[in-house]
């Protein structure tokens, strides 16, 4: 096919078609275009001075994806012993690993410390006690609560404290023999509002000064993740976001402050293309078009429930119509889209879903006996 469908790069499109033609791998599977990942790795952090990038493994913990990212020189942000074991298996040095999970399991603390991980986030006193017991003297950073407006996946309510409490927690950590080094925040995932980072940087600056007054000289600011990718709508460019962040940082912070960035979605999201199959279609309630495919909410497209809208590519050429698209399981929650515009495919046809590299496989379960799609780097 000569025409490249919307929502996919021409080079990726060609690779995907070649793979499908050459391979006898049964769908569904997730193809990840290495070239797109490499490009994103090249973009992220480039426009922010003193920035180090730590890939948030939960976005896609596939071991080959992690290996590829390690080869590209990225660090890693992890939250669990499972994520740690993946990195251990590919030999990532502990200096390249941080954990920004403010509520760590005991088992994870034990394994992370044994491995040599030495950067831990927190936002409560009991967590300080835990870290002081398992990781005496470790570098710790406090999670500040910041506005999450304009992000499709807000996170802030679960974690983070206000400035005053954060300052107290930094002091408490120092008094417990830990080494308070910095501040972190998260503006929310798929954040299309650059001002979130600006106001977060302002807030972090205030905390930085409050800490200094209490005799704690911080050296690191971790600006979290949240960079958006394109699904069906255009989003703000990473460079545009980073220029704004960098400007705010230059205005508020000294030259030598270390900046950590922890993107997940933006690193791997738009490199991924699900290859699935149309397994059924019908009309229900009179004139509603229903389409059934072999990738659904439970085995890869969980984020559709939270409002992420995907593009669907089918080989049919007819006029586009509105479809309710469902996954293969027997659960009524397994509906991915209630108004997908696409031409009518035949049962048995391939269906492609771009921008599926992040928060798909990592969320997937084998609910109802449907297997988790294999990840294949192309």
Ligand X SMILES: *Cc1c(COP(=O)(O)O)cnc(C)c1O
The active-site residue out of 66, 191, 326, 330 is 330
Using the rule CB under 6 A, give the single segment among 41-49, 225-233, 246-254, 366-374 that binds ligand X: 225-233
CB of 151 to ligand X, least distance (A): 8
Query: 2 in helix, strand or coil?
Result: coil
The residue behind tokens 């515009």 is 341
Using the rule CB under 6 A, give the single segment among 5-13, 54-62, 67-75, 275-283 that binds ligand X: 54-62
CB of 142 to ligand X, least distance (A): 13
Using the rule CB under 6 A, give the single segment among 16-24, 194-202, 260-268, 294-302 that binds ligand X: 260-268
Whole-number CA gyration radius for the chain: 22
Cβ proximity to ligand X, 7 vs 224, nearer residue: 224
b vs e for 182-214, b when ≥16 Cβ sit within 10 Å of the residue's Cβ?
bbbbbbbbbbbbbebbbbbbebbbebbebbeee
97 φ, ψ (degrees, to nearest 5): -120, 135
Residues 139-178 that bind ligand X (CB under 6 A): none
Which of 130, 203, 265, 350 contacts ligand X by CB under 6 A? 265
Strands (E), the chain: 29-32, 51-56, 75-77, 97-98, 119-122, 139-143, 151-153, 179-184, 189-191, 220-222, 258-261, 272-284, 288-293, 313-314, 321-326, 335-342, 350-353, 374-377
Cβ proximity to ligand X, 246 vs 262, nearer residue: 262
Tell me the CB-side half-sphere exposure of residue 94, using CA atoms within 13 A. 11
186 contributes a contact to ligand X by CB under 6 A:
yes
262 contributes a contact to ligand X by CB under 6 A:
yes
Annotation says 191 is catalytic:
no
211 φ, ψ (degrees, to nearest 5): -65, -40
Using the rule CB under 6 A, give the single segment among 26-34, 122-130, 223-231, 294-302 that binds ligand X: 223-231
112 contributes a contact to ligand X by CB under 6 A:
no
Residues 337-376 that bind ligand X (CB under 6 A): none
List residues binding ligand X (CB under 6 A). 56, 58-59, 77, 100, 186, 189, 224-227, 262-266
Active-site residues, by number, are 330
């Amino acid at each position: 096919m000569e025409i490249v469908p919307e929502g996919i790069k021409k080079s990726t499109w060609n690779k995907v078609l070649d793979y499908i033609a050459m391979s006898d791998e049964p769908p569904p599977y997730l193809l990840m275009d290495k070239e797109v990942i490499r490009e994103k790795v090249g973009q992220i952090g480039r426009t922010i001075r003193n920035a180090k990038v730590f890939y948030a493994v939960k976005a896609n913990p596939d071991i080959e994806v992690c290996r590829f990212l390690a080869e590209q020189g990225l660090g890693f942000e992890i939250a669990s012993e499972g994520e740690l074991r993946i990195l251990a298996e590919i030999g990532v040095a502990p200096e390249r690993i941080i954990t920004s999970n403010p509520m760590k399991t005991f088992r994870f603390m034990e394994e992370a410390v044994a491995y040599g991980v030495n950067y831990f986030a927190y936002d409560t006193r009991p967590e300080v006690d835990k870290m002081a017991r398992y990781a005496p003297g470790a570098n710790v950073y406090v999670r500040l609560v910041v506005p999450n407006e304009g992000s499709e996946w807000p996170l802030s309510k679960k974690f983070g404290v206000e400035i005053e409490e954060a300052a107290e927690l930094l002091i408490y950590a120092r008094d417990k023999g830990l080494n308070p080094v910095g501040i972190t925040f998260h503006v929310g995932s798929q954040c299309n509002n650059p001002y979130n980072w600006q106001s977060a940087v302002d807030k972090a600056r205030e905390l930085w000064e409050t800490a200094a007054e209490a005799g704690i000289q911080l050296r690191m600011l971790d600006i979290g993740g949240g960079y958006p990718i394109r699904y069906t709508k255009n989003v703000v460019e990473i460079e545009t976001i980073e220029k704004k962040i960098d400007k705010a940082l230059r205005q508020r912070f000294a030259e030598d402050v270390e900046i950590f960035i922890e993107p997940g979605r933006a690193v791997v999201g738009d490199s991924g293309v699900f290859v699935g199959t149309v397994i059924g279609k019908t009309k229900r309630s009179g004139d509603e078009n229903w389409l059934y495919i072999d990738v659904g909410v439970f085995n890869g497209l969980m984020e559709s429930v939270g409002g992420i809208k995907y593009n669907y590519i089918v080989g049919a050429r007819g006029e586009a119509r509105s479809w309710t698209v469902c996954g293969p399981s027997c659960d009524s929650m397994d509906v991915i889209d209630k108004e997908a515009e696409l031409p009518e495919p035949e049962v048995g046809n391939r269906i492609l879903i771009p921008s599926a590299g992040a928060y798909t496989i990592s969320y997937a379960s084998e609910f109802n006996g449907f297997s988790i799609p294999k990840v294949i780097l192309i």
